[in-house]
Structures are given as C-alpha cells and as structure tokens.
Amino acid sequence: MNKRLFFGFKALSPLLHSFPEGRTLDPASRHLTLAFLGNVDSEPLETNLESHPPFPFQVGLTGFASHLLFLPPKSPRVVAWHIECYQQAKLLHFHEQLRFWINQQGYSLENRPLLPHVTIARKPFNKAEWKRAFSKIPLYFDTFTLYESKPELRYVPVYEKKLLLPFEEIEHTADRAFLIRGEEPKVLFYNALTALSCSHPELLDVELPSRPCDDLKEIIQQLNTLISHADENVGVDLKAVSYHSSLREKTGYFEWEMIVDV
Amino acid sequence: MFDLVQKEEALFELPKRGSMLTSGLVVATEELLRQQMDEPLKQLKNVTHLPGIVGQAVAMPDMHWGYGFPIGGVAATDLETGVISPGGVGYDINCGVRLAVVPIPFSRLSEKQKEALLKRVYETVPSGVGHGQKNQQPLSDADYRKIVEQGARFSLEAGYGLEEDLLHSESHGCIEGGSLDAVSKRAQSRGKAQLGTIGSGNHFAEIGAIEEIFDSTITDAWGIAPGTTYVLIHSGSRGFGHQICQDTLDDFMKKGFEKNLPDPQLVAAPLKSPEGERYFQSMAAAANFAFNNRQRILHAVREAFVKELGIRPEELKQIYDVCHNIAKKETHFGQQVCVHRKGATRAFGKGHPELSEVYQHTGQPVLVPGDMGRASYLLVGLGRPETFASCCHGAGRARSRIKSKKHWKGRDPLDYMERQNVKVLANSMRTIVEEMPDAYKDVDLVVDAAEKARLASRVARLKPHLVVKG
C-alpha cells in the first residue's frame, strides 16, 4: 500500500505563543523532519521498523528556534523555525545512520544535508509580519516518529518510539521544581536551561558559557549566571537555582531534582 | 516521623536526639501540624546542627519547605563562636512588609474612585518582571554607597517619604554594618533599575479596609479606626539581594563551609571569619536596599492617593515596616547573638529599648499578610524570649504552583476575586493563578497559633479590596 511517509521527531514546547495570520500547523503535529521518503510502498518499511538504528541518546533532545526560515528560499511555501539543537552532533550522527538504514530497506532518499527545522505555517503568509513577531522559543524532541502525511496538513503517526523526557516539572510547595535528565553534565545543563526557558524564554537571549559543565556545582553556577544576566537585561521572576540534591545515576543517564527559588 | 512533645497550648518541642546540638521549638496548633509538615520539620532538625546555636531552633506556625531553613524558621547563633547562614535569611534579603493607614473609611470611596486608584497605583508602581523605573536614572556607585550606609534615609533625602516613616520602621530603616565593598558589581548591575519596584511572585501592593479591631487601646494609640483605608506593601531587595545571596553561596560552597552540616543548603561561615563578616556586610547592604525599595513604593502610592483622591502624602501615615528575611545582631538572654529570621518577623514586646516611643508603650506592630482574598493581620509583639521575640510572617503556602495552575485551568480567577469583592491587576495571569487565596493556608489559623503561643496578639484584621500583583 502506498503512503506518503517521513521520519521525524515530535517537536514540543509548553511555551504559549501567538502567531501572525497564516495556515498554522496544529502544535501537536509539529515535528523536526529527519528523512522524507515520499509516496512509497510502506509495507517493507513497516514490517521492519523495529530494526531502525539505535539512538545515540536515551534522553530526548532539546534546543530552540533560533530564527525563521522561509522555504524554499526562492519561492517560499512554508514558514519554519530553524532549530539549534544542543546535541547537534548526535542528531546529525543519527540522521546519517537513519539514512543508511532507509537505503538498506530499499528506499531511495535525496542526498541533502539535514537542515534542522520545524514547519509552523504554510502560505499564504506575510513574511515581514512573521519576522516582526518572532522570538526565540525552547523546544524538546522526545518521540521518534514515522509519519504519514495526509491532506489538510494532517500528519498521522504510523510508528512511535519514546525517549526519556529531558525534564518534567514536579511538585514543590513554595518554589518551582523539575526533574532534569541527561547523559552527561553538559546535557543536564542544556536540559535544565530548556526547562527554565519554557517559562522564561528571555534566558535564550543570554550568551551561553564557553566552557561545558563538569559537575553539578558548575551546572548550578552557570544556570545562575544566565539568570543574573537575564534579570539584569530584561528582568526575570527567578531568583536562582538552589544548591539542592545530588546527581542520581540511572542506567546510562543522570537525574537531578532542580529547585528554583522564585 | 517526628516525635513532637507538646509543652503548652500551640507549642511543641522537637526533642534533641543524636547529632542535634539543641532541641527544636514548634509553634503550631495540631490542625496546622497535620498540613505537610515533614519537609519543614526535617529542615528545622537540620538547623539545630548549626555551630554556636543558642537556645532552640524555632519554627513559626506558617512554616513551610524553604531553602536550607524552613520558611518560618528562627535560629540564633553566638556572635563569638557561632555561624551565619545565607539559607537562614533567604534569597530575598529583607523581604518585608510596610503598612500605612489613610484617615478615610474605605466604604466611603465610590466604585469609580476605587477603580481609578487601583489603576493609578498599578501605573505608578512598577510591578512584575522587566518593569523597572522608566523615568529614573540607574543607580550610580555613589547612590549605592548612600543606600548601603544610610538605609531608607537616602530615599527620604531624595524626596521620597516623611521623617516619621523612619521612626515607624524596624531598625529605623537601616541595618548598620553594610558595606558596598562586600557587594559584587553583578549584584549592583542587577539592582540598578529596580529600586521602587514590587517585583513578581508573592509581592504586592494592596489597599483595603480595617475590617475588625481586637484591641482598641492599641489601635487608639496607633491612630487606627475601624473601617479605615489601609495600604500594605510586600517587597524586598529584588535582584540586588538575590545576587548577594547567590554570590555568597557560591563562595561558601567553593570554600567547603557546608562540610559537617546535614544539608549543604545550610552552608554557613563563622561570624568572626572574613567570609562571615563579608556576608553580614553585603546582607546589610541588601537589607538597606529593601528599606529604600518599600520607601519609594509607599511614596508612589501616596502620589496615587494625591492624584485620585486629593489626599495629602502626610495623611498616609506609616504604621510600621518589618523585615521578614534577615539576620540581625541582638541581645537575648543577656547574650549577643545573631538572630536569623527566615520568613519570620521580629516581635519585640513593650519596653524594648530599640522601639520608638509610641511602640515602647505597646510593643511593636507585627504585620502578617494572609492572601489576596481573605485577610491580613496587624498584631502587637509580645517578645516571647524562647522565640527570640519573633512571630509568623504570613499565611504560608499550602499548594504548589503547578497544582494551583491545574486547579484554576479553564476557570476565571479574576471573576472569582471580583465575587470576593477584590479587584486585582497584575502583569501576568500566571502570577494571579499561582497566588490565588486557596494556594495559602488560612491566615486565621496561623495567627490563632501565634496568639495562643503568646508570640503576639491580635490588634486588627485587614480585608484586601484592591490588589496590584507582579
């Protein structure tokens, strides 16, 4: 049976934002496209999906929309967020492995480098208005999905594989608390930053530290440096990330309970 | 989990066990003790391990889970042998409350006047994040130096407020010993446009009516009549204080001062060490920033009353300004100590030499904001020695912010507040939802416990009607 198929990661952001006029995509359908197969006989692929290449990460990826793309550039039909993924190298590696695997299944793909983006609207749109309304938006990608593209901008998942959530907000009586997950300290830092940016996107405008974190103390100190700068620049209702708890080692990743004084 | 022993009505002891250096003292009724007490009691137990602790570690009836200390925690340490802990003060150094009264019955204001007044206060007093003073120059080094050394007098001399405001403030609006040399440039930069701003979270400026008088001898002495309009302001040292706390924690952690303490959040340096002295100097600097902050907010509210109701600034009489996140050098049991009050208010009784004359005869006013719907309280301190003359600072949160959001999802919180006869203006709907009255304990229960334990006694109940939130 022929289906119009593509692989991608679901793109999620708890941050509420309004867009200019346009045929915007349902937020639940937003995705970062990895490989577009086109209209193909889906059966060989669907029977063999579980053999897809292993992920070089257990915890979902995080990043942010750094600017807008109007694609294709010569005669744009879609508005998309350009995605800066904090683990770009691992994303590119997985993309390569996936392409190789798809070819092994007997499908051919266009030979194009990955342009990490998330489509948000289709034409007609007013480019200037969209540019004016843009600000950086944090995103996370926790579900590897094979989508079937249907009419009316509907994307139906055919196959899904969940990764661990990079962060979750949890209960705290007085302050705000999150469970942060990551395979190494620098990933924990980025995932904590994404958690905070979901309510305070102004943190994304602050320059990131040049040196990656080595331990929990450094993660906390670097997050607090970002909070200080954001408070100084535009004001944020976060006081600081507190020196709380330790890193819990899980199978292949770490978990940290981050408490933010507000 | 905790074998509390009842000593008196609304007073329990957390017995000294194992490595604890002293016992704990918990001010609460049994009803309050049934509400989420495991974490704060665990924190109180941790506080008993502070080197040089004097007397008992004390928990107030509004206690809840905080950073290191429980919020609503009090501990005194010996000035010579003890330590000072930023976790015993909090991030928002000298977060505090200021109460003023206006000699007109609130019920006499028309709906139009109330609306206009609320709007004017909202426009005049910057609230929320990113809302610094638009027409104000950023603070210079020279300004900062005066703030740190003079306290609220700096703003007074710049034309913000009245001389009596200082007489009616804890420590006359200035904590001695502040030094700008102990403060980082980053802290200065973070606070430079934030003086005179409310901030966000649970900070507010509210106007309401003195709903009920419990002790007319005292209200007569303080010049408060039933039904009178009041102004209550809750704010602190903003980014300046937050950064000072963070800088100190980074420094203390780097130097390993958390070793041998049951929780690294209690990290504390000896008061007599260079690090301890530096923290005290920078903390006092932030405390003085906070006094100036509330001084300017009240000034802006006075301006709103002039513009909307023609009420002269001197008619808005300040009753008191109290700190509820601070460490202060005081004398208790004949000993010089450093009293950490974290989410707790000083509550000196009558005759205390630090109080100005009017309060010498009555005891100091203790301000206990409840929530933006039900009530706040004005109490008078009784100076109970075992608590280092302290009292509760508010109602205390009962529900987390995410639970509040879930609870109010799909409902109209502003409509609910209107039905409680409270109009609210805020920069963010998120803040309103997080700060709805049901996120807090019932302040009546908290004040009841404080009164039963003889920390303070009720003077008046205040009912909010117009609220500006961050």
Judged by CB atoms closer than 8 Å, whether chains meet at A172 and B129 is answered as no
pLDDT for B128 equals: 61
CA B398 to chain A, closest CA, distance in angstroms equals 6
CB contact under 8 A, B402 and A169: yes
> What residues of B are in contact with residue A244 (Cβ under 8 Å)?
67, 265
Determine the average pLDDT of the residues in A46-68.
96
For B90-322+349-469, give the CATH class.
Answer: alpha beta
Is residue A258 within 8 Å of A192, Cβ to Cβ?
Answer: yes
CA A93-A98-A101 angle, 5° bins: 130
Query: In the predicted model, what is the mean pLDDT of residues A187-196?
Result: 97
Q: How much is the pLDDT for A89?
A: 96
Answer yes or no: do A261 and B67 touch at CB < 8 A.
yes
Interchain CB distance below 8 Å, B398 and A173: yes
Burial class (CB in 10 A: 0-12, 13-18, 19+), A143: middle
**What tokens does B260 get?**
């041998």
Q: pLDDT 10s digit of each residue in chain B, 470 long?
A: 578 999 999 999 999 999 999 999 999 999 999 887 889 999 999 999 999 999 999 999 999 989 899 999 999 999 999 999 999 999 999 999 999 999 999 999 999 999 999 999 999 987 766 555 556 789 999 999 999 999 999 999 999 999 999 999 999 999 999 999 999 999 999 999 999 999 988 999 999 999 999 999 999 999 999 999 999 999 999 999 999 999 999 999 999 999 999 999 999 999 999 999 999 999 999 999 999 999 999 999 999 999 999 999 999 999 999 999 999 999 999 999 999 999 999 999 999 999 999 999 999 999 999 999 999 999 999 999 999 999 999 998 888 888 999 999 999 999 999 999 999 999 888 899 999 999 999 999 999 999 999 999 999 999 999 999 98
CA distance B331 to chain A (A): 31
What pLDDT, on a 0 to 100 scale, did the predictor assign at position B130? 56
Q: Where are the domains of chain A?
A: 2-162, 167-261
Instruction: Give the mutation candidate from B64, B85, B242, B407 for the A interface (greatest A CB count, under 10 A).
Output: B242
The pLDDT of residue B134: 59
Q: Is B3 helix (H, G, I), strand (E, B) or coil?
A: coil
| Contact: B245, A239; criterion CB under 8 Å | yes
Contact A174 B71 (CB under 8 A): yes
Residue in B285, B301, B289 with CA at minimum distance from that of residue B99: B301
Q: Crossing angle, helix A216-233 and helix B238-254, to 10 degrees?
A: 160
Asked if B131 and A235 come within 8 Å (Cβ–Cβ), the reply is yes
- What confidence tens digit (pLDDT) does each residue in A157-176 have? 999 999 999 999 998 888 89
Tell me the CATH class for A167-261: alpha beta
Q: Which residues of A touch B200 (CB under 8 A)?
A: 237, 262
pTM of this prediction?
Answer: 0.92
A231: nearest CB among B39, B239, B431: B239
Minimum Cα–Cα distance from B187: chain A residue? A228
Pick A240's closest partner by Cβ from B66, B242, B402: B242
CA of A176: which chain B residue's CA is closest? B401
pLDDT tens figures, A15-46: 767 789 888 888 999 999 999 999 999 999 99
pLDDT in tens, A109-150: 988 899 999 999 998 999 999 999 999 999 999 999 999 999
Residue A170 confidence (pLDDT): 92
C-alpha neighbours within 13 Å on the C-beta side of residue B283: 31
Query: For chain B, which residues make up each domain, given as ranges?
Result: 90-322+349-469
In this complex, do B128 and A217 lie within 8 Å of one another by their Cβ atoms? no
* B340 among known catalytic residues: no
Local structure of B325: helix, strand or coil:
strand
Domain A2-162 belongs to what architecture? Alpha-Beta Complex (3.90)
Q: Can you tell me the distance from the alpha carbon of A25 to that of A22, in angstroms, rounded to the nearest whole number?
A: 9
pLDDT at A51: 95
The whole-angstrom distance between A48's CA and the closest CA on chain B is: 41
Distance CA B85, CA B258 (A): 10
Asked whether the beta carbons of residue A234 and residue B129 sit closer than 8 angstroms, the reply is: yes
Instruction: State the virtual CA torsion across B85, B88, B93, B96 in degrees, nearest 10.
Output: -160
Q: Which residues of A touch B (CB under 8 A)?
A: 169-176, 199, 202, 217, 221, 224, 228, 231-232, 234-237, 239-240, 242-244, 259, 261-262
Distance from CA of B430 to the nearest CA of A (A): 10
Residues of A in contact with B400 (CB under 8 A): 171-173
Q: Which residue in the list B64, B168, B299, B393 is annotated as catalytic? A: B393
Which chain A residues touch B401 with a CB distance below 8 Å?
Answer: 172, 176, 262
Q: Which residues of B touch A221 (CB under 8 A)?
A: 250
**pLDDT, position B132:** 59
Report the C-alpha gap between A201 and A82 in whole angstroms.
Answer: 16
Q: Is the ipTM of this complex over 0.90?
A: no
The dihedral built from the CA positions of residue B339, B336, B16 and B245, taken in this order, carries a sign that is positive
